[in-house]
Structure 1
Amino acid sequence: MVWMATQQLAIRGKRRRIWGGALLCWVLLMLVTPKISHSPKHHLYADMRNFVGVPNTLNVITNFPFLVVGVLGFVLCVQGGLFNISLPGEVWGWALFYAGMAGLAFGSAYYHLKPDDIRVTWDTLPMMIAYSSLFSSFMVERVGERIGLSCLFALLFIAFLSIAYDRTYNDIRLYMMFQLIPCLAIPAMSFVFPPKYTHSRYWLWAAGVYLLAKFESVADGKIYHANRFIISGHSLEHLCLVMVPVLLSIMLMNRNIKCQRIGTFKECS
């Protein structure tokens, strides 16, 4: 009994350190970085061609794969069987992740039809919901179901808070941090917390693909000129980002339980 109580205190201490570290990073970044306001330049993309009457055609239609992967992933999560998901908390997280991917297809397409400061909210919000759910699923797997679900609700609250903060103060820093921190935290925590399932390397591959997509977005114009105006870096970012749920879907289909948690105990094969 004493040992179990000690383990519970250790888990609570770990939970406090996780949240404390995240809060400290957020406060430090907000203090040391200047305000980043919206600018008309943010909505100017290298490829703004109009085909068959659709403005910014390639930036719009390259969102379609998000809808396909999002809908299929959501259905497979809800039905069960093909995806190896063993905890209810994981079902919530993964289903919401795929729902966010499907929502991103509509939100990003709507934004790219007429890019401006108002429409960009519909591009960023489903993406932030997907990030929150993905990080929650990772926490459920690596740390525990209760901590993972608390992360889900906390991150969803922060996502809506960052949107409200942006609309009120014209400052996109919270949104940018929201994208950056999970991308760095998942690879770092992969080496700290043991995986419950096999095929955990897919988490690192997905993080690598995400970073590649961000590079393509930054190099939008340079990539567009390099391939002789066939496709821009931003359109390639869309196609690259959709590989994140594809890789994670492959992981869910092929993984097996490696370490089973029972209460505060771990039983590993």
Structure 2
Amino acid sequence: MQLIFASRRTASRRAVVRRRTAIIVGTACALWLVLSLLGPFVAQPAGYHGFADQRAWGAIPHALDVLSNLGFLVAALAGGGLLARLPSHETTRAARSMAAVFFIGLACSFAGSSFYHWHPDDASLAWDRLAMCVPFAGMLGLAAQQACGDDAAWPACIAMLASAVAAVLLWQHSGNMLSWALAQGGGMLVLLWLAARRRREGGLQIRLGWVIALYAVAKCFELADAQVFAWSDGFISGHSLKHLFAAAAALPVLHALAALRERSATWL
């Protein structure tokens, strides 16, 4: 009898989580759509593709801006290796799936950003931004799984992916950057809200504050591209550092998976 009541309570809690998730995700998507369609026109800045470091190394143009994307590939490979060696009982299917989406997204970011910086223009930038949508979605799914439960992971991931991809397509069609800025900014606000919630015991236990801090530092370096290049006397640009710090934002996820792997090895 106690098992029946416990099962009913679990089913009831999951239903509540699903309802709350549907309301939050639906409201956020509706708000994004309204603001994207009715908000002001935000043009992409003139000279957006004119990065500070124009040096080539042999056949590689804009070499450091291209090669600094290797950090994404290293993080993706490290994360894939940890997931492959992690016993299935150490984490839920939802957490494992969100981590897989995140690391696949990092590999996509390596390819998309390298392609863009090899020949920066609007056409290659679209591929770069489409690639960025995938790790954004995976990270939001991980945060939702950690804070709200497994049932919240996929809706958050899919909503982020759909809105970010739609934002890129809207920008391509109209030239209006607003939808992309709203997708990024809105996703970060939701991530901040989830980070402020208490971590569930069944979550992956990612230190989301570090993810947010490292991403914020990356954005600061992006904005200070030319200034950092000048301050470093031409050694490295802000945009190259932006890639390295954005890739470093994967470290809290890698640390959480490594901790589970270590715990599993201890019990064996």
Q: Which residue of structure 2 aligns with residue 61 of structure 1?
A: 67
Distance in 2 of aligned mates of 1:170 and 1:85: 46
Tell me which of 212, 224, 232 is aligned to 1:227.
232
Which structure 2 residue ranges, 5 or more long, are not aligned?
1-6, 262-268
Q: Which residue of structure 2 aligns with residue 36 of structure 1?
A: 42
Report the more deviating stretch, 29-38 or 212-221.
Answer: 29-38
Q: Which residue of structure 2 aligns with residue 180 of structure 1?
A: 185
The secondary structure found in structure 2 opposite 1:252 is helix
Distance in 1 of aligned mates of 2:201 and 2:152: 15
Give the % identical residues. 23
Q: Residue 210 of structure 1 contacts residue 241 of structure 1 at CA under 8 Å; is this kept in 2?
A: yes
Q: Residue 14 of structure 2 contacts residue 151 of structure 2 at CA under 8 Å; is this kept in 1?
A: no
Higher relative contact order (CA 8 A, sep 6+): 2
Q: Which residue of structure 1 aligns with residue 86 of structure 2?
A: 80
| Structure with the largest fraction of helix | 2
Q: TM-score, normalised by structure 2?
A: 0.83
1:21: Cα distance to partner?
A: 4.2
1:11: Cα distance to partner?
A: 3.1
Q: Which residue of structure 1 aligns with residue 76 of structure 2?
A: 70
Q: TM-score, normalised by structure 1?
A: 0.83
Equivalent residue runs for 1:98-247 within 5 Å: 98-196=103-201, 200=205, 202-247=207-252
The secondary structure found in structure 1 opposite 2:211 is helix
The secondary structure found in structure 2 opposite 1:46 is coil
- Partner letter of residue 243 of structure 1? A
Q: Residue 100 of structure 1 contacts residue 127 of structure 1 at CA under 8 Å; is this kept in 2?
A: yes
Describe the superposition over 1:71-112 as per-residue Cα deviations: whole angstroms up to 9, x where unpaired. Answer: 22123223424x995111111111111011011111111110
- Partner letter of residue 256 of structure 2? M
- Partner letter of residue 49 of structure 1? R
Describe the superposition over 1:227-253 as per-residue Cα deviations: whole angstroms up to 9, x where unpaired. Answer: 211111000101111111123201222
Whether 2:28 is the aligned partner of 1:26: answer no
The secondary structure found in structure 2 opposite 1:118 is helix
Distance in 2 of aligned mates of 1:199 and 1:150: 17
Report the more deviating stretch, 113-122 or 184-193.
Answer: 184-193
Distance in 1 of aligned mates of 2:8 and 2:96: 33
Query: Relative to structure 1, is the Cα distance of residues 159 and 84 closer, same or farther in structure 2, using a 3 angstrom cutoff?
Result: farther
- Partner letter of residue 82 of structure 2? L
Aligned residues: 255
Distance in 1 of aligned mates of 2:251 and 2:156: 23
Which structure 1 residue ranges, 5 or more long, are not aligned?
257-269
- RMSD over equivalenced CA pairs, Å: 2.7
Distance in 1 of aligned mates of 2:12 and 2:117: 53
